[in-house]
Chains A and B, each alone.
Chain A
Amino acid sequence: MFFNSLAFAIFLPIVFFLYWFVFNKNKSTQNALLIVASYYFYSCWDWRFLFLLVFSTFLDYYTGIQIEKEKSENSRKFWFWLSIIINLGFLGIFKYYNFFATSFADLLNSVGIKASPILLKVILPVGISFYTFHGLSYVIDIYYKRIKAEYNFVDYSLFVSYFPLLVAGPIERATHLLPQVKVKREFDFQTAKEGIYQIIWGLVKKVVIADTCATYANAIFDHYTSMNSFSLILGAIYFAFQIYGDFSGYSDIALGVSKLFGLDLLRNFNYPYFSRDIAEFWRRWHISLSSWFRDYLYIPLGGSKGGLWMKIRNTFIIFLVSGFWHGANWTYVIWGLINAVYFLPLLLSNSNRNNMDVFQLKFDFDSFKVLVSILYTFALTCIAWVFFRAKSITDAILYLKRIVINRDFGFQYLDNERYSYELLLLIAVFVVVEWFSRNKTEPISGKRSLLKAALAIAAIMAIGTYSDYKEFIYFQF
């Protein structure tokens, strides 16, 4: 069941009605309903993986309590590592086993030792990377005594399996979401209205921007050997907007849906393509994952303590792991590596925290510099996205090489029976709308919100892409 499906359009009002009109006695009934709804939502993909979700939930719930109860450090460590190993073990088996087995066999074959890998015939449980990271952050926080263990299994289960964030985040923290599920939620009109706006804008991003860009990006990436320089540049730009619209659209819908139930989720995107440098980009893109890696990997590794070398080493580690988190493919690892390389000049010049302020554009040279740095950062991210999108590293390199050597900047007719340049106007309008809304959560709220909502709905209906239906990209992670 996808957020942009008819099934979800039926599911959501039913759960909303039951939540506020039938199960609104206290927080326990509210939570119980949301868990049943979440498990139903998850089982719509594959009910068999529900057992994995329940097991993962129970494991972290139980080990969390044991870590807190145990007095001796060795016992605490035992429960802590048990949880970490089993969680990462599941992730490893389902997501990475076949990749490692194939890569190892390839390595042996390349040195003349014949090897054929034993592969597992398993499908990746949807959302496993997300709910595993939920559980991990919870157990790590208890181990380091940042939070208390949750003794109410229902409340804890809801924290892990709450349906708006279950399959593609945002990756919540126990410190943020658990206190909210511990109290009865009261309906708030303004919050719910904001939620509706966020859902509408998320749908615009998904069906108008992402899915439309996808038809062009696919036509270009899948036939890159016959594309000219201009089409290849456009292909990278279209993919940049596809993945942004897809993932931030999903996050917007998740946050909006959650607001309808009175629960506030972590913001995941903050207009990342308006970033002035790559460090700012990573403070605005997939914020819940970036901050997760910062808090649970970068800082435990020593963070920026220990001098410049340690800072560089740790930065490279988190970007490589982040790339690998996205999927079992070397293209993601290289994508992470490229981002780490982009970071390097900022680290060396100690300017990675330069652009923390909010900028205002005026008619002066500083504003011009800001615009140039935004375009430059966007160009860098587009180059990195080529590796993220390409089927292999070789394809990505050949794609980029062809941009440079082809030097034909004419319009091309694509495999999707459209001209390569046709989407530029739509993207330009989208960028302008987002630019003027960059200090808000979404562009609809504020003055004349109903009119803006009507325009957004009209855009979804009139210029959305439906027959070339696309799943959300991040579901595969």
Chain B
Amino acid sequence: MKKFLIYIAKIIAITFLIAIALDGLYTYIFLQSQNRGKIETVVNSTAQKYDVVILGSSRANNHFVAPMFEEKGLKTFNYGMSGGHLFEASLMLKLMVERKYVIKNIILEADLNLSNDRESEGVAAKFLPYIHNSEVIKNHFETHDNFNELYYIPYYRYVKYDSKIGFREVYKVVRKETTNTLDNLGYYPLQKHKNGNMKNNIVNLNPLPHNKYYEEIKSICKANNINFIAIMTPMCENVVGMNYFDKVKKAYPEIHNCENVVVEDKYFSSCGHMTDEGAKLFTARILKDFFKK
């Protein structure tokens, strides 16, 4: 038995060493990552200057045409992330501040995402390779259920989220494969879909009265003299429960309700996402209303 216990100790030690080695290797590779996604780009960047930074979910990513801001002479980047929640938007802003970005205006898409203050697993996972390299990321995840496992068990985060930050992603980083998320200054244009779903039911959705991460973004902006513009963006015609936007306005009076800037279904790719044409109409209105010189 003694022999076996020694043998098992060897197997456990080997497993632990492999975990440490893989953790170190993956983290090193992710620290070199450029041009794969918005998170990696911000984490591995140095100080930048922006007139406008756009944050939010896919409804920011697909709705704010960053090149139109540039045409107006405003240095802009759309950091909206498909599938992302305010948890990730807040962390992105914190990372920018940590890297000493100078930002004049933040546009935050704040509407449907006000209904929760949880992380979006798929998006949040992309911050995890850097958890030991950034105090901001570590602190942001501290309230996470699995924080101890994610932070202290070597390689655990890469196993748990292997589809996002596992072997395949590492391989793509090593091969310097690029994605299109950074094209068009971060704005991702959508096309009209023949079978796009033009119905939505948000009747059961309610904005949280004090969304933790929304408040966090607001206070970061205040502390760093950033002009904070929170905007509700358009939905298609056939939505059940449109009074959600009134509820948002009631809970957060400072959020601008631009939901009805574009209304016709022909400008939508799916119910919650405008086409490129719709996004351009919408952006033109935003520029007119908020950036008129």
Contacts and interface: CB of A to CB of B under 8 A. Distances in A.
B162 A466 contact: yes
Contacts of A20: 1
B19 A461 contact: yes
A465 B4 CA distance: 30
Contact of A189 (B3, B162, B163): B3
Contacts of B164: 467
A464 B166 CA distance: 9
What's the dominant secondary structure at chain A's contact region? Answer: helix
B162 A465 contact: yes
Which of A450, A458, A461, A463 has the most chain B CB within a 10 Å cutoff?
A: A461
A467 B10 CA distance: 28
What's the dominant secondary structure at chain B's contact region? Answer: helix
Given A461-B159, A465-B162, A454 B4 contact: no
B147 interface: no
A193 interface: yes
A428 interface: no
Contact of B8 (A196, A461, A464): A196
A364 interface: no
Contacts of A463: 167
Contacts of A192: 4
Contact of A196 (B11, B160, B161, B168): B11
B158 to A, nearest CB: 8
Contact of B11 (A453, A458, A466): A453
Contacts of A418: 168
Interface in B156-199: 159-164, 166-168
A462 B167 contact: yes
Interface string A19-36: 010000000000000000
A457 B14 CA distance: 8
Contact of A454 (B14, B155, B160): B14
B22 A458 contact: yes
Contacts of B22: 458, 461-462
A450 B18 contact: no
A468 interface: yes
Contacts of B14: 450, 453-454, 457
Interface in A181-196: 187, 189, 192-193, 196
Contacts of B4: 187, 189, 192-193
B163 A461 contact: no
B30 to A, nearest CB: 15
Contact of B159 (A189, A193, A454, A464): A464
Given A465-B162, A467-B161, A450 B10 contact: yes
B291 interface: no
Contacts of A465: 162-163
A243 B111 CA distance: 45
26 contacts: A20-B1, A187-B1, A189-B4, A189-B7, A192-B4, A196-B8, A418-B168, A450-B14, A453-B14, A457-B11, A457-B14, A457-B15, A457-B18, A458-B18, A458-B22, A461-B15, A461-B22, A462-B22, A463-B167, A464-B159, A465-B162, A465-B163, A466-B162, A466-B166, A467-B161, A467-B164
